[in-house]
Structure 1
Amino acid sequence: MNSKVVLLAFLLAVIAVAFAQRKEEIFARAVGPCIADKCQSKHTCYFGQCVPEGIAPAMPALDKSAAIGPCINYLCPGNSFCHQGMCYNNI
């Protein structure tokens, strides 16, 4: 039973590392911030950044209770991003 738990923990760690690297690669190709949740042609808004279409998964639904406040002129403080009028901490 313990070996199953260790194997599951290892697999979850590998998946987490792969996801982090993938997200880093996506943001490396960003061309700038989203403005009013919109980007230029052939780009999509992903966690507040405009990235080329097809390289990022669909933006997940964000929990509005996790918002840190409203966007002001589509801007948020620090390392947070604006999505549908609310600021969220960057993950």
Structure 2
Amino acid sequence: MGVTKGVWFTDEFKRDAVAQVVERGYAVSEVAERLGISTKSLYTWKAQFAKSPHERAEVLDQAAEIRRLKRELARVTEERTILKKATTYFVRESQ
């Protein structure tokens, strides 16, 4: 949800506002004035919601892949740290 002058707008409201511009061809300034919102908010919402479902799905897939890779990196880093400690221990014990 976004805030404009202390008012919260639902995603549904934002999508409807964007649809008036993208699908129905109204000017951003006209829609913003009619709905009592700033043109800046409407442009921001347009950037957020005007992406095709394919583009949104791709972004979500990429975000999921990034989360998976971060988990894997953390695991590998932890394993490397454990192996370094073990190597240091065994080097000391063998001397």
Q: Classify the TM-score, shorter chain.
A: 0.3 to 0.5
Calculate the TM-score normalised by the size of structure 1.
Answer: 0.34
User: What TM-score do the two structures reach when normalised by structure 2?
Assistant: 0.33
Q: Which has the higher strand share?
A: 1
Q: As a proportion of its length, which structure holds more helix?
A: 2
